[in-house]
Structure 1
């Protein structure tokens, strides 16, 4: 159940894969879609009691500042590893590359990963996983960090829209097993964009 639930969460939330410029409409579409998923008992990760009273997730105000163009440097000679999770499951990933960007005048970098299981499927062979944590974690945003879905770039730049950052399912329900954000993806800045903490 845990493994299936994890993939449902990934597969439903593939938005803005190849955006080239900021689009408020894309962020609004993301918010509308994730709210619809969470309100539907068939797809919602919420616990039964929370589902009964659910109206909307809480989001930071949409802010173009948190849409950045990053330089993509593909990783070389990386080995497959087992990513730690909140449970006992250890899914296989490989570090696919590093994203270099500037935010508030500060140089930042994040590693991006590829799921070995997802890469074997036709629909998600180009999917990249970007987990991160920042200085809002444990305050306004989920203590365990958040995720963004990306697509393997054709060139050497990747657009990252932190307005489309979302929580792992385990932020809502302890029955799920979610990848932990690697220490190297902890940003020393406040990312006031995307989904806030629940409750």
Structure 2
């Protein structure tokens, strides 16, 4: 009888402890989501400020004069993924075509694999041997991609995401921070053309939408 009582007591204690654990986990997830949304808002604000500033804006003056905000998809943390990151230290530099005659020297720094809404995807992430010579960009990584929104909700030539070299074998890819190449706004810019290997056969309904002139 004593054993049964002790066992019953352990069950009650165990259930309470488990519930407490679940509550803490929910709070942790909620906090992560809140922080992510805050980061997305900051990204949008910074991008709008960049486009308003005549010294940094890619917009021709006729569009910049009345510019208020870029058109964004509503923030959605579904499109923020934790990807497995496999470095490719033996990859050789190659010349990535651009929208002009210029070519951009890049190297595949690593490959990100992840799941999004139940499907698995893979993307190459690049590093510029020239750009990393600048202290400001020594940890900079470049992720260009195509998806099924291109030419409709988003720019036909695809979009870019800026990343930082991670400390381990995972990397966060937040598609809410996807932005258009400058040549989407002004033809005077030379923009890297997204490699077809980085095509996602799904709609990425996050980040910057196409620019309406």
TM-score, length-scaled by structure 1? 0.88
Which residue, 170, 177, 180 being the options, matches 2:190? 177
Q: Does 1:75 align with 2:88?
A: yes
Q: Does residue 133 of structure 2 align to residue 125 of structure 1?
A: no
Q: Which shifted more, 74-83 or 139-148?
A: 74-83
Q: Secondary structure at the match of 1:174?
A: coil
2:178 aligned partner: 165
1:25-55 alpha-carbon deviations (Å, 9 max, x no partner)? 1100000010011011111100121112211
TM-score normalized with structure 2 length: 0.82
**What count of residue pairs does the alignment treat as equivalent?**
181
Greater than 3 Å deviation, 4+ residue runs: 19-22
- Specify the alignment match of 1:13 in structure 2: none
Q: Name the structure 2 match of 1:97.
A: 110
2:165 and 2:75 map into 1 onto residues whose CA distance is 25
Deviation at 1:64, TM superposition (A): 0.7
For structure 1, the residue ranges without an aligned partner over 5 or more in a row are 1-18
Deviations 1:82-108 (A, max 9, x none): 110001111211011100000010000
Larger radius of gyration: 2
Residue 76 (structure 1) shift? 3.8
2:193 pairs with 1:193:
no
Tell me by how many angstroms 1:23 deviates: 1.1
By relative contact order (CA 8 Å, sep 6+), the higher-ranking structure is: 1
The whole-number CA distance in structure 2 between the counterparts of 1:173 and 1:186 is 24
Is 1:42 the counterpart of 2:61? The answer is no
Please state whether the residue corresponding to 1:113 is helix, strand or coil.
strand
Select the residue among 30, 46, 62 that pairs with 1:33: 46
CA contact (8 A) 1:20 1:159 kept: no
- Greater helix proportion: 2
